Amino acid sequence: MQCPFCGSDSAVTETRDSAEGVRRRRVCAACKRRFTTYEKVGSPGLRVEKRDGSHEPFDGDKLFRTLERVARHRAGAIDAEDLRRVVRDVEATLVDRAARSVRWSEIVKLLLERLRAIDAVTADRLEASYKDERGQLRFGADDETAPAGERPQLGLFRNDE
């Protein structure tokens, strides 16, 4: 299992059964960071609190697709496997907390911590996408059905094109 922060190999330090599947604590052989994995992916019951106070089920695939848009044009610096690893790690971190509900801004924070270690440009893009004019993280800004003006400008970065 690759480290979500640096991509190096990791070792299992602890294994136990939990309601969400087999839980393993791991430590990275290179950067020594610790992280958790679950054999069974998916976190039934975990809900995301959006800006308007409504909730939706946590969706790792949706998160992955969002990151793919943000990481567009970063081939060589970060790839799909890196993004999947990041999403799996964020999901495991949330499941580990045993919270039933998590704010979208908290998910963005966890994503930023991990992306920053892999590719700072992608992290900056994600951060910019979810901040409003006052520099505040926006809740629920991932909602594709929101009016265009309230949507983050994902995939619209033109600086390096």
**Interface residues toward Zn ion, by CB under 5 A:** 3, 5-6, 8, 28, 30-31
Q: Which is nearer to Zn ion, 34 or 97 (CB)?
A: 34
Residue 55: C-alpha distances to residues 67, 113, 132 (Å): 21, 24, 21
73: phi then psi, degrees, rounded to nearest 5: 70, 10
| Minimum CB distance to Zn ion, residue 98 (Å) | 25
Q: Which is nearer to Zn ion, 24 or 50 (CB)?
A: 24
Q: What type of residue sits at position 116? A: R
Q: Which is nearer to Zn ion, 4 or 140 (CB)?
A: 4
| Minimum CB distance to Zn ion, residue 68 (Å) | 22
Task: Give, rounded to a whole angstrom, the gap between the first and last alpha carbons of the chain.
Answer: 34
CA 22 to chain CA mean position, Å: 21
Q: What type of residue sits at position 17? A: D
Q: Which is nearer to Zn ion, 26 or 138 (CB)?
A: 26
Residue 154: C-alpha distances to residues 41, 62, 71, 125, 132 (Å): 26, 13, 10, 8, 13
| Minimum CB distance to Zn ion, residue 114 (Å) | 10
| Minimum CB distance to Zn ion, residue 80 (Å) | 19
